[in-house]
Chain A
Amino acid sequence: DAGVTQSPTHLIKTRGQQVTLRCSPKSGHDTVSWYQQALGQGPQFIFQYYEEEERQRGNFPDRFSGHQFPNYSSELNVNALLLGDSALYLCASAPGRDYGYTFGSGTRLTVV
């Protein structure tokens, strides 16, 4: 049984560009949350999707947007990339509105 799958694993982008990260939740999970983890910091909550709607949002600018599809997979989009957006982006899924989150291994984004 596959856990949470994220793609790509690594990505290098230039300042000002746009990026899309993808996440497939664990089988049976329908809630997806996204986190940003900068070097030496804990994961910071970006937003959460459930039933294809954004349910909660952390303190991130509108440049960060997302989407959840009918099959529960999700995308994170970041526009107008800044150097400070360089981080590990983690996707976590859970069954319903539970706290039983499983994390993916993340996408490491480098902005140059």
Chain B
Amino acid sequence: RKEVEQDPGPFNVPEGATVAFNCTYSNSASQSFFWYRQDCRKEPKLLMSVYSSGNEDGRFTAQLNRASQYISLLIRDSKLSDSATYLCVVSRGTALIFGKGTTLSVSS
């Protein structure tokens, strides 16, 4: 079983749609959780950290369920510029362990 699992998609949505990505992780010792964004042929960039209490950054909301080892990302009012691959990331020690990524394509 992979340490971080995501549905690879692609998710094809119209502008203005709400879309949710899910991720599960297998290492119960993981302490820190993140969502990264990666544009085509570019490096990953931190989108947001994920906390058990849930956290929001503008149109983006992240949730963590430690009991179920489940992480989610909700994007509201999707924009064309949100088209990218979204990577679920958990810590192992001080290293980052990435999922395969979920591809989002937003169309007009």
Q: Which residues of A contact B (CB under 8 A)?
A: 31, 33, 35, 40-45, 48, 50, 55-56, 58, 90, 92, 94, 97-99, 101, 103-106
Q: Which residue of chain A lies nearest to B46 when distances are taken between CB atoms in the complex?
A: A101
| Any A CB within 8 A of the CB of B19 | no
Contact A42 B101 (CB under 8 A): yes
When distances are taken between beta carbons in the complex, the residues of chain A under 8 Å from B101 are: 41-42
Q: Which residue of chain B lies nearest to A44 when distances are taken between CB atoms in the complex?
A: B98
User: Which A-B residue pairs are the 4 nearest by beta carbons?
Assistant: A42-B98, A103-B43, A97-B94, A42-B100
Residue with the highest number of chain A CB atoms closer than 10 Å, among B43, B94, B97, B101: B43
Interface of B is mostly: strand
Bound-complex Cα distance A99 to B46 (A): 10
Residue with the highest number of chain A CB atoms closer than 10 Å, among B34, B93, B96, B99: B96
Known contacts: A33-B95, A33-B96, A92-B96. The answer to whether A42 contacts B43 by CB under 8 A is no
**Least distance between B15 CB and chain A CB atoms (Å):** 26
Contact B34 A99 (CB under 8 A): yes
Contact B98 A48 (CB under 8 A): no
**Least distance between A28 CB and chain B CB atoms (Å):** 17
Write 16 A-B pairs (CB below 8 A) sorted by A numbering: A35-B98, A42-B4, A42-B98, A42-B100, A43-B96, A45-B96, A45-B98, A48-B95, A55-B93, A56-B93, A56-B95, A97-B94, A99-B34, A99-B49, A101-B96, A105-B43
